[in-house]
A and B are shown apart, each in its own frame.
Chain A
Amino acid sequence: GAVVSQHPSRVICKSGTSVKIECRSLDFQATTMFWYRQFPKKSLMLMATSNEGSKATYEQGVEKDKFLINHASLTLSTLTVTSAHPEDSSFYICSARTGHEQYFGPGTRLTVT
């Protein structure tokens, strides 16, 4: 079946630094990629939707200057958390869509110290 990978699976960074998370569709071309965030004991919340070659569409309340999304190709999207703060510590999940099918990545655990 289709596979979506994320790298890294876990990352620890210091406050004020930036960290990049990669999302790749391994055996299909993703016309659209999604980034979600999971707060402790909460359901996943959509942060933004990105289409290859165009600007991401952010959900209400998500700071676009803080969470930079780049969808450079049909198989790669990146989420960069800029000027990270401990409150950005969370589990970030990407998902990739091709046609009517959508597949979820394994997630990245970000800890900001």
Chain B
Amino acid sequence: KNEVEQSPQNLTAQEGEFITINCSYSVGISALHWLQQHPGGGIVSLFMLSSGKKKHGRLIATINIQEKHSSLHITASHPRDSAVYICAVRDSGTYKYIFGTGTRLKVLA
């Protein structure tokens, strides 16, 4: 079992839909990142969280430290949101990052 699990692995949505991507982890962490990877590879850091909730435009990220769970929400999804979304946690013991395998999102016009 991976230390960082994301669900779903693949997601297809219609433009305008509300999207949720989940990340569960089994280690103690000091930080969690949500990354966006576009086709062609370029990585964009969306959020870094250690507690609570952050919002940036149409994106919202939440984390529940007790439940070892984080969610990334996209409101009013758009085809340009199509990408792979990666959850990465920093292990509080080793200070190394552990990455999920990503959620591939496709938003149809």
Do the two shown chains form a genuine complex with each other?
Answer: yes
Chain A residues near B (Cβ < 8 Å): 9, 34, 38, 41-44, 46, 91, 93, 95, 100-107, 109
Are B45 and A104 interface neighbours, CB within 8 A? yes
Chain B residues near A (Cβ < 8 Å): 2, 4, 30-31, 33, 35, 37, 40-45, 48, 86, 88, 90, 96-97, 99-102
Known A44-B99, A95-B97, A100-B30: A109·B41 in contact at CB below 8 Å: yes
Which among B2, B31, B86, B97 is the interface contact of A100 at CB below 8 angstroms? B31
Cα(A65)–Cα(B68), bound, Å: 39
Q: Closest Cβ of chain A: how far from B109's Cβ, in Å?
A: 26
Cα(A91)–Cα(B37), bound, Å: 11
Residue of A with least CB distance to B33: A104
Are A43 and B43 interface neighbours, CB within 8 A? no
Cα(A43)–Cα(B97), bound, Å: 11
Are A102 and B99 interface neighbours, CB within 8 A? no
B88 CB contacts on chain A under 8 angstroms = 44
Which among A43, A100, A103 is the interface contact of B101 at CB below 8 angstroms? A43
Are A102 and B41 interface neighbours, CB within 8 A? no
A9 CB contacts on chain B under 8 angstroms = 42
Are A107 and B100 interface neighbours, CB within 8 A? no
Q: Closest Cβ of chain B: how far from A96's Cβ, in Å?
A: 11
Are B41 and A104 interface neighbours, CB within 8 A? no
Are A104 and B100 interface neighbours, CB within 8 A? no
Are B45 and A43 interface neighbours, CB within 8 A? no
A100 CB contacts on chain B under 8 angstroms = 30-31
Are B90 and A102 interface neighbours, CB within 8 A? yes
